[in-house]
Amino acid sequence: MIALTTAEVAAATGGTLSSVAPGHVVTGPVVTDSREVLPGGVFVALPGEHVDGHDFAAGAVASGAGLVLAARPLDGLPCVVVPDVERALGDLARVVLQRLRDVASVPGGSGLQVIGVTGSVGKTTTKDVLAQVCGAAGPTIAPVRSFNNEIGLPLTVLRADEHTRFLVLEMGASGPGHLTYLTGIAPPDVAVVLVVGQAHLGGFGGGVDAVARAKAEIVAGLVPGGTAVLNGDDPRVRAMAADAPGPVVLFGAAPDAQVRVEDVRLDGHGRARFRLVRVVDGERDGRDVELRLVGEHHVHNALAAAAAALAVGLDLDEIAAGLSAADALSPHRMHVVERADGVTVVDDSYNANPDSMRAALKALAVIAGRQRRSVAVLGEMLELGDESRTAHDAIGRLVVRLNIDLTVVVGSGARAIRDGANHEGSWGDEVVLVDDVDTAAAFLADELRAGDVVLVKSSFGAGLWQLGDRLVAADA
């Protein structure tokens, strides 16, 4: 974070000073976890369902925090007291980003550009890939893990400083107005919309069209003249061009897409090779790319990252090299481990919705091929509202169509996966329903054998990430 006086923090957040001089300077990072405090930093005392950050403020100051952002005065601790701590965190990020933009725009400045990424599926991977591509060209800040909400996004913004050239932000929405709030903190210079799907349907109240309206908020939130990078193959995303305040760049297979891929091939490990093509005024220019990421669906994420990188001024050579060098950075996202016992674990258990579940199952089928046994361990997809049973049933039917050899369905919330498989024609022991993660772990310990490829996939709240950790740890 840039250096600020406590008086400047108070002005940015509409707060008042308590037990601290107005000229005291904070220079360290802004954190919400007292264990992450560094000397001179700011500790944000967020209230929570189970713990209250105010209870950890004294420990944060003892560890070196120079200031606490708090909802009430804390005896003898240096505080800026605000009516709403979460809102104040966003206000602070908004003010700091504007200062950075002002500094970046002067001669010799960093030329800071903000890139926002949203979509029903693929946000985190696209963010990770884009951050690596941009990072090879200049100082880049991007979220750790999936810091994409009203807390994670401002924390990411506040990691930027005067040297930052690219600020890559993942923007998540689980309801209307969420992206409007996030773009109010950090209006993007470039906004990327990947796809409109069935993720978080329960929070939108109007089906997929309501999701599309919510995702379009990122385009409406662009800076004046900002660039919208849109999936040209998704009609709902294409329609967002009408909200764009500046240029529109389409990526995909559509005939009018300016950024596209050709000649996609998968190797035996499920990694894609393709030709990245840019079309400008009818003139084509292409480069070869070999992804390290597993799964054909990552071609779409890489294409979106390439289109965004072009929009911020990188050239095709830089982008192709960056895409080919990019690794999976976030945990539990198509993380492939080859165990010493001959079992391959594909841990994609961080999150799940119908689109990502289908993509992961197709990747499993490709990796296993005809020579190895495919094992899918599937848990519940959360936040699907009234569509939940139908969506889970459809996944069960897909399992049969893909000829997955063994499917282990974990938990009663995912039961409809088994039902769908049975209705599609599964028989015998091809599909097994177990109660919980422990039961699934015990079953797999007896069942897995050398040569098996096992996919672990569910929403984070369903808990299969714990099973993923256990299957990977079994190798150690």
Residue by residue, DSSP assigns 31-65 as ESSGGG--TT-EEE--B-SS-BGGGGHHHHHHTT-
Given a cut of 60, whether residue 202 has pLDDT beyond it is: no
Neighbouring residues of 219: CB distance < 8 A, sequence distance ≥ 6: 191, 193, 228, 230, 240, 241, 243, 244
Average pLDDT, stretch 345-354? Answer: 91
Angle between helices 123-135 and 316-325 (to 10 degrees): 120
pLDDT of 476: 57
What residue ranges define each of the domains in the chain, with the CATH number in brackets? 4-83 (3.40.1390.10), 88-325 (3.40.1190.10), 335-473 (3.90.190.20)
For the chain, give the mean pLDDT.
94
Q: Are strands 283-294 and 335-338 parallel, antiparallel or unpaired?
A: unpaired
Q: Nearest-CA neighbor of 348 among 298, 411, 273?
A: 298
* SS3 (DSSP) at 115: strand
Alpha-carbon distances, residue 131 vs 29, 94, 282 (angstroms): 20, 21, 29
Report the C-alpha gap between 169 and 156 in whole angstroms: 8
Average pLDDT for residues 101-128, to the nearest whole number? 94
Query: pLDDT at residue 166 above 70?
Result: yes
pTM of the model: 0.87
Whether 206 shows a pLDDT value over 70: the answer reads no
Instruction: Give the whole-angstrom CA distance, residue 151 versus residue 46.
Output: 9
| 373-407 tens-digit pLDDT | 999 999 999 988 888 999 999 999 999 999 999 99
At residue 336, φ and ψ (nearest 5 deg) are -105, 125
Closest CA to 464 of 426, 413, 427: 413
Question: Are 81 and 71 in contact, with CB atoms under 8 Å apart?
Answer: yes
Q: What pLDDT sits at residue 329?
A: 85
